[in-house]
Amino acid sequence: MILTYHNVDLLPLDELTVGIFAFIKQMLKLRNYKVVYLEDYNIYDDTNVVITFDDGYSGFLKYALPVLKFFNYPFEVFICKNFLDTKNFIKTKDLYKIIESNGRLEYHSKSHYNLTEIKEINILEEEISPPEELKLYDENGFKYFSYPYWKYSLSVINIIKKYYNGARSGNGFADNTIWALDSIKMNNKTKIEGKK
């Protein structure tokens, strides 16, 4: 299974935020699984788990990162270029903290638009293609894409195939193929079975 988090904070302030205590409980449950990167993920092996974060919220660095480091779990952060260095999001200068902590950087688009609503191929390509200046931060990253709003189309997938090894969707939108891997949107109440 692929877990998709957004923000982690002291308290669950909204639908996209998991409180730190719930997050720790969820990470404890993962000790009975094999936590892997997306490139090592086998969709047919129910012992495999991938931990991902969308958008690059700054709460991730303060609350989630120390927990992930403690458990030594691999994880991936899907960033939006236009969110970097803005209020409530990760600063570009902090991207190295993710790499140094067993994490990988992946891409979640330039502006977080619903890609299925963009008709001009050149604009779609600009939204999807990973910026070269960001790729310099992580030589092992930027191999996977996360669809904004988890929505995609055939024309979107055709561009994804030019730049990535696969892409992630979820919660009913995914075909569960390498170009639309299914994932679970995590919240404060999401239960993880503690079995292998």
The sign of the dihedral angle between the CA atoms of 176, 149, 187, 32 is: positive
Residue 195: which pLDDT band, with cuts at 50, 70 and 90? low
Is the predicted pLDDT of residue 55 greater than 90, yes or no? yes
pLDDT in tens, 65-82: 999 999 999 999 999 999
Q: Is 19 helix (H, G, I), strand (E, B) or coil?
A: strand
d(CA 124, CA 137): 24
pLDDT in tens, 108-146: 999 999 999 999 999 999 999 999 999 999 999 999 999
d(CA 135, CA 118): 24
In the chain, where are the structural domains located?
Answer: 2-185
Cβ–Cβ < 8 Å for 131, 109: no
Residues paired with residue 177 on neighbouring β-strands, in sequence order: 180
| Amino acid of residue 92 | T
- % pLDDT > 90, the chain: 92
Q: Select 2-185's CATH number: 3.20.20.370, 3.40.630.10, 3.30.460.20, 1.10.510.10.
A: 3.20.20.370
Q: How does DSSP classify residue 181? A: B
How far the first Cα of the chain sits from its last, in Å, is 12
